[in-house]
Chains A and B, each alone.
Chain A
Amino acid sequence: MTVISDFTNSSAVDNVKKAIAAAKENESFHALLSLSEERALERAALVDKGEVTGRLAGVPFVAKDNFMTFGGTTTAASHFLEQFEAPLQATAIERLEAEGAICIGKTNLDAFAHGGSTENSAFGPTLNSADPTRVAGGSSGGSAVATALGVVPFAIGTDTGGSIRQPASFNGVVGVKPTYGTVSRYGVVAMASSTDTIGCFATTAHDAELVMDIMAGRDDRDMTTLPDFFAPAEAPAVQKVGVIKEFMTDDVDAGVRRQVTTYIESLKAAGHTVEEVSMSMLKYALAMYYIIVPAEISSNLSRYDGVRYGKRAEVNNLSDLYGKSRDEGFMPENKRRIMIGSYVLSSGYFDAYYLQAQKARTLLINEFNELFKTYDVLVGPVAPTPAFKLGENTADPVKMYLADIMTVPASLAGLPAISVPAGTTDEGLPVGVQLIGQRRDDAKLLALAASLEGAA
C-alpha cells in the first residue's frame, strides 16, 4: 500500500505513469472500469510546470464510477450509462483537482451503487484484494481494492448505507463516511438523497483527513451541504467509548469479534474509558433502511427514461421507449429496489411502510442522541463477517442486505462513521472496526484512529 507523501516529492507525470502501470498489473482484480490516461498525463504536465499547485500536487487517485469526471465515461457500472460522457465534473473532483490531485481512472461498483459486494456491476465483479475468490464488498468495491493494492494512495466513493465502510473493512483500508451534508453531491449519480454521502478510502487516517478536508464544505450547487465545519482535529486525550453490545453477539463471526475486541483493548491501553452500551432500535435499522432507501431510489431513478441521455431501446412508441430502455438499462437489483420503492410509496401502503419507517428513524436517532450525552464515540464491527465468497449471497437479496446491518444505523441518523483496519482473521481476511461519532465529529474520529494506528 502507498501513502500520499510517497507521491508529493516526485514528478507528477512519473506518478501518473507509475499508478497506471500498477493499475494494469492488477487488472485481474477488476477494480477499475476505465483509465483516463490522456487527461491524467495532461493534468500531470500542468502540475510539473507549476501551473497547478496544492496540497495534493501530482498525487494520483481513482474515483468510483458514479462521480462525473472528464476524460472518459461515467457509467455507474450500468448498461444505462455505458456510453455516457459527463458534460461536467462533480464538485468533489473539482476540489481535488484544484489541489493538484490527478484522477487516473474510474472504479467498479454495484450498478447505481445498489449492493454490498460489487457483484451487481453490469461489467462483472471486483475481486477481494486479500483473497480473489471473495467479494470486494460494496458498493464502492473498486475504490477499496485499488487503494488496498497500492495502485493509488487514496480513492473516493459514496456511502449511502455502508458502501465505503464495508469494502474498506473487507480490504483492510481506512474508509470514511462523513456527517451527512459534509461534501457536496453535485455531479454524483443520486441514489437515496436523505442518506447519500461522499467520502474516501486511504491507507492512513491522516491521509483520509487531508482528502476529506479538501472535499468538505458548503456548495451552492448542493443545498444540503452544511456550513463549513470540517477542520483537522488534535489527537483526543481521554475519550469515553461505548461498545455496542448488539453488534458483538454470537451471531457475529468469531474472528471479527476477536479483532474488534483487540482494538477495544488498545483503546483501553491508550487511557480511554470503555463501557458496554445497548441500543434497542438497532435491530430495526435494516428494515427502516430497506423501506426508506428504495423509496428514494424509485424517485431518483425515474430520471433514467432513455430520452435525454443514456441507453435508448429500439422501439416504435414513447411508452415502450420508457419501459424497454429501463428494463434493458437496469440490473436486477436496481429493479428490485425501484419496485419496492413503488410499493412502499403507493396509496394503501404508504402509512404502514414508509411513514412507519420514518417514525422509527426518529426513535433510532433519539437513542443515538441519548448515548452521545454520555459517550464521545461508539465502537463495533463494520460488518458481521469478513469478505464472503463470490456468489455466496447473490441468490438471496435479503441475505445480501444483512451484510449492511451494522452500517445502516449511522447512515439513517446522518452520523459520521469510519472503518479502521483491525488486523485479520485466522484465514488472513481483513477486519475493520467501526467508530461512530456525533454529527460534525468527523475529524475527531479520524484523530482517534490515527492515535491508535500500529497499536492494534
Chain B
Amino acid sequence: MTTAISRDDVLHLAQLSNLQLSDDEITALQTDLGNILDYVAQLSELDTSGVEPTYQVTDLENVWRQDEIQPVDAGREQLLALAPQQQDHQIKVPKVL
C-alpha cells in the first residue's frame, strides 16, 4: 500500500499545523510523510470491532481539588519579561488586520 501525499496535501497540513515551510522542506516532507503513513497504515489489517479505545492508562478518574486560588512560583513581571516584545505591562504583537 502506498499513501500518496501530494504537494497540496503537505501545504494543507502545514496550514493546519501553523507552519510556513520553505519549498525544499515541502518536497522533503512529501516523501517523508508518505513513508511514515505507509508504515503506520499496517494497523488497518487489525480487526478492532467491538474494542474500546484507550486514551489514558492511569486508571485515575476525576481527580478533584478545591477551586481555590493557589500561589504560583512566577510573578507577572517575570512572565511578561519572557515575551519577545512588551509594552505597558502587556505582550506586544504585530497588527492583526
| A336 close to B29 (CB less than 8 A) | yes
Contact pattern, B 9-41, Cβ under 8 Å of A = 1, otherwise 0: 010011011111110010011001101110111
| B36 close to A340 (CB less than 8 A) | yes
- Is B67 positioned at the interface, with any CB of A under 8 Å from its CB? no
Q: How many residues of A contact B (CB 8 A)?
A: 70
Give min CB distance, B71 to chain A, whole Å.
Answer: 12
| B21 close to A327 (CB less than 8 A) | yes
- Point out the residue from A194, A324, A363 that lies within 8 Å of B48, measured CB to CB: A363
- Point out the residue from A306, A315, A340, A396 that lies within 8 Å of B33, measured CB to CB: A340
Which A residues are CB-close (under 8 A) to B42?
284, 287
- Is A36 positioned at the interface, with any CB of B under 8 Å from its CB? no
Give min CB distance, B33 to chain A, whole Å.
Answer: 6
| A317 close to B19 (CB less than 8 A) | no
In Å, the complex CA distance between A84 and B81 comes to 11
| A339 close to B14 (CB less than 8 A) | yes
Within 289-318 of A, Cβ neighbours of B (below 8 Å) are at: 290-291, 298, 302, 305-312, 315-318
Which A residues are CB-close (under 8 A) to B46?
284, 356, 359-360, 363
| B53 close to A336 (CB less than 8 A) | no
| A339 close to B84 (CB less than 8 A) | no
Which A residues are CB-close (under 8 A) to B94?
315-318, 320-321
| A359 close to B53 (CB less than 8 A) | yes
Given A284-B46, A340-B37, A360-B46, decide whether A324 and B51 contact each other with a Cβ distance below 8 A.
no
Give min CB distance, B58 to chain A, whole Å.
Answer: 5
- Stretch in A140-148, A220-228, A257-265, A271-279 with 4+ CB within 8 Å of B: A220-228
In Å, the complex CA distance between A307 and B18 comes to 13
Contact pattern, A 318-340, Cβ under 8 Å of B = 1, otherwise 0: 10111110110010100110111
Which A residues are CB-close (under 8 A) to B17?
298, 326, 335, 338-339, 341-342
| B58 close to A335 (CB less than 8 A) | no
Which B residues are CB-close (under 8 A) to A302?
18
- Is B4 positioned at the interface, with any CB of A under 8 Å from its CB? no
- Is B52 positioned at the interface, with any CB of A under 8 Å from its CB? yes
- Is B57 positioned at the interface, with any CB of A under 8 Å from its CB? yes
Which A residues are CB-close (under 8 A) to B63?
223
| B96 close to A317 (CB less than 8 A) | yes
Which A residues are CB-close (under 8 A) to B20?
320, 323-324, 326-327
Chain B contacts to A: CB under 8 angstroms: 10, 13-14, 16-22, 25, 28-29, 32-33, 35-37, 39-44, 46, 48, 51-58, 60, 63, 65, 70, 72-74, 78-79, 82-85, 91, 93-96
